[in-house]
Amino acid sequence: MGRALDIVCIGGGPAGLYFSVLAKQSNPEHRISLYERNRADDTFGFGVVFSDNTMGFLTEQDRSSYPEITRQSMHWDPITVTHGGRTMRCRGVGFSAIERKTLLGILQAQAVDLGVHLHFQSEVPDPEPLISRADLVVGCDGVNSTVRPHLEDRLGTSVEVGPTRFTWLGTTKGFDSLTFFFEENEHGAFGAHIYPYGPDRATFIVETDEATYQRAGIESFGESDTIAYCERLFARHLDGHRLLSNRSLWFQFRTLRNRRWSEGNVVVMGDAAHTAHFSVGSGTKMAMEDALALSQALQRTSGVPAALAAFEEERHPRVEHIQRAAAASFDWWSSFRHYIQMPPLQFSFNYISRSQFRYDTLHPRDPEYLAGVEAASGLGDLCARVIAQQPPGDDGTALIDLAPEAPVVMTQLVAVSQDGRVTTQDPGLWNAEQAAEWARQAGALRAAGSVLCLNLFHAGPRGAMRPRGEGLDRPLAEPSWPVVAASPLSYVPGGPVPAELDTARMEQIQADFVRAARLAREAGVEWLQLQFGHGYLFGSFISPLTNRRQDAFGGALDNRLRFPLQVLEAVRAEWPAAARLLVAFSATDWAPGGLPAGEALRAAAGFREQGCDYVTVLSGQTAWRSKPPYGRCFNFVLQGKIRLEAGVPTIAAGGITDLDDVRTLLLAGRADLCLLDHARLGPLRCA
């Protein structure tokens, strides 16, 4: 147990109250005072929700106040999605909810019992005197924290304003589960998130996109206009019940992030430190987990600085994880107007799998629901929708071995010219001898029941490297061929600088691709993919991070796409109309200043217009410093957007390893075909 501390909490929401209670419990010698600008029983926002695993974690760690909170909470097991006149339920996606007022009441009573000094109606306009007096100042005063600005330049604060509009209402209608309604009217599409927290009470949040918000004229609405509009919109679900208002204005959700949460003896937590879109139900959860972690850190370390460091260490990865899940969910809510045309069951699965749930994590919870989704999908044999990836460096043996697993096998990268290789070991296709070898492999694969998809590329700025087995992107000491790129920017920091591609060289490279396509056609290759992603030559044109050109091939997206589209057009003319042609590209750079999602959608649509049959949605490898969220199906959000919003047939790739991944992506309508990882755990279990 550490020494007794003078602790000041600014803000009396769940984070501050819960922290006060836990800290005082662990060391009754702490002197804790808490300032709250509102009255004890003032409260906004009707109920708060927790996901089931939050309850588990807190129950495990806190055996004193949490049981009371659990006792007064309402728990529901299924999630209900109502759309297109159909109501769909998936069980086992449990949530709990409690009225915010009840939660605060429990915590206030415990705090008072323990001897925490609670000061209501006591705003702290300037925390400086407290900071210089107290051992520890905890800023838990919400997203509009008055404490945070005192540290802001040192915390690395960023705020992202979301693209949707929402309002927070309540209703007297009873609901028996977490429920979502989707409705369309003459203005556009609206969704309602309903969190019941009592037998006849529920939080009722209405959310829509900016254009719909404008068309409906909501900007000029007062509270009663909002109520009237929403009651009309959701009338068939309300059974005559009213919607309730509680300072119910329309807002844009702001996602707050801070690189650090503490400085000296001041720390922020809860909404003052981080926010996550309410659709993942994690705001209060994070606040309470912060409180628990901070009180435990104070107990087990010596001194406030060590405790704050330990607190940040423990909480940053967890909060980042939730913020990432929330970003995917928020993206769904920003785009659902495009998904609302889907058949209801597929729509519901698309919604439920929008962030963290996959087929295999849902299956044990509700096999019947998933069976219904599968039956309605009409997908048939999933194994027919799979493309296997030849492992890099393979001599052709593994390629043939993949035939039983997939109807199509994608080759490793195949260079269109000697100068287009990454390493001296890359396979290529620029002469008759190579063509004969590809003809042999395509034939062997065909005999084994699969077709070959030749993956053509030019290495661009990633050229002239050492073999990939020795580590990636290690430039050759003495490059034996010239390296080119959209702009003279080295791929590896401090590495060789490529030459800016001039138009003469562009024509040459285009001719190389056309020649490779012709040779492939003559060799009997059935499918062809052009690699426009991962930082290779065409990727260097598409990403704004690597294209600094001032000519017709740089600047705006249309210019950056010009060269890739020219090559695509020329290859399409050479390639048989009936044979499949694919374009793979990086739909995001995972780096600040990279390709925006809107441009990725336009690029995909551009490839489609120029005659490609499928777009393979990759990501990253365009910038040296990037943060790809590697994991299962890690590109699924953009894959779904390109297919459902841009209307382009897509091949999903990246972290796809088994039939459950394939099923998840296809059932949700996020892909037409799936490309499997080469380094996956085991072979695909196809019948």
Partner 1 sequence: VRIGIGLPTTIAGAPASLALDWARRAEEGPFASLAVHDRLVYDSLEPMVALGAAAAVTERLRLACLVLIAPLRRTALLAKQAASVDALSGGRFTLGLGIGPRRDDYEAGGVPFERRGQILETQVSQLRPLWEDGRIGPRPPGGPELVLGGLTDQALVRMVRYADGFCHNGGPPRAFRSAADRVRAAWSDAGRPGRPRLWGLGYFALGPGAAGRGQAEVHDYYGFLGAFADRIAAGLITSGESLREYVHGYREAGCEDLVLFPTVAEPAQLDRLAELLEVI
Give the SS3 label for residue 586: strand
Could you say whether residue 600 binds partner 1 (CB under 8 A)? Answer: no
* Pick 141 or 426: Cβ nearer partner 1: 426
Interacting residues with partner 1 between 431 and 450 (CB under 8 A) = none
Nearer to partner 1, 521 or 632 (CB): 632
Annotated active-site residue in 359, 536, 614, 630: 536
- CB 169 within 8 Å of CB 206: yes
Instruction: Single out the residue of 208, 353, 389, 540 in contact with partner 1 (rule: CB under 8 A).
Output: 389
* 11-22 burial: b if 16+ Cβ within 10 Å, else e: bbbbbbbbbbbb
CB closer to partner 1, 137 vs 465: 465
> Angle at which helices 636-644 and 304-335 pack, to 10 degrees?
20
Pinpoint the alpha helices (H) of 134-238.
Answer: 152-155, 210-215, 223-233, 235-238
Q: Which stretch binds partner 1 (CB under 8 A): 114-122, 509-517, 545-553, 617-625?
A: 617-625
Q: Which of 300, 381, 384, 548 binds partner 1 (CB under 8 A)?
A: 300
Q: How far apart are CA 425 and CA 367, in angstroms?
A: 48
- Check residue 469 for interaction with partner 1 (CB under 8 A): yes
Min dist. Cβ of residue 320 to partner 1 (A): 9
Q: Which two tokens stand for residue 543?
A: 């990403």
Q: DSSP states of 259-312 as a string?
A: S--EETTEEE-GGGT----GGG--HHHHHHHHHHHHHHHHHHSSSHHHHHHHHH
The tokens for 547 are 């294209």
- Nearer Cβ to partner 1 (70/657): 657
Could you give the angle at the alpha carbon of 572 between the alpha carbons of 570 and 575, nearest 5°? 115
CB of 391 to partner 1, least distance (A): 6
Binding-residue pattern over the window 317 to 356 for partner 1, x denoting contact by CB under 8 A: x---------------------------------------
Binding status of residue 634 toward partner 1 by CB under 8 A? yes
Contact between 476 and partner 1 by CB under 8 A: the answer reads: no
Q: Which of 190, 177, 169, 182 is nearest to 241 (CA)?
A: 169
Q: Which of helix, strand or coil describes residue 558?
A: helix
Q: From CA 148, how far away is CA 131, in angstroms rounded?
A: 12
Q: Is 566 in the site for partner 1 (CB under 8 A)?
A: no
Please work out the total of residues on this chain that contact partner 1, with binding judged by CB under 8 A. 47
Give the position of tokens 């009997």: 524
197 is catalytic: no
Contact stretch for partner 1 (CB under 8 A) within 26-34, 126-134, 156-164, 630-638: 630-638
37 lies in the binding site for partner 1 (CB under 8 A): no
Q: Kindly tell me the burial class for residue 49, based on how many C-beta atoms sit within 10 Å of its own C-beta (0-12, 13-18, 19 or more).
A: buried
Residue 350 CB, nearest approach to partner 1 (Å):
22
Q: What spatial distance separates the first Cα and last Cα of the chain, rounded to whole Å?
A: 60
Nearest alpha carbon to residue 671 among 682, 663, 679:
663
How far apart are CB 677 and partner 1 at their closest, in Å? Answer: 4
Q: Using CB under 8 A, which of 264, 496, 649, 655 touches partner 1?
A: 655
Window of 153-161, 194-202, 294-302, 515-523 that interacts with partner 1 by CB under 8 A: 294-302
Tell me the catalytic residues: 536
List residues binding partner 1 (CB under 8 A).
Answer: 61, 293, 296-297, 300-301, 306, 309-310, 313-314, 317, 389, 391-394, 412-413, 468-474, 534, 590, 618, 620-621, 626-632, 634, 654-655, 657, 677-681
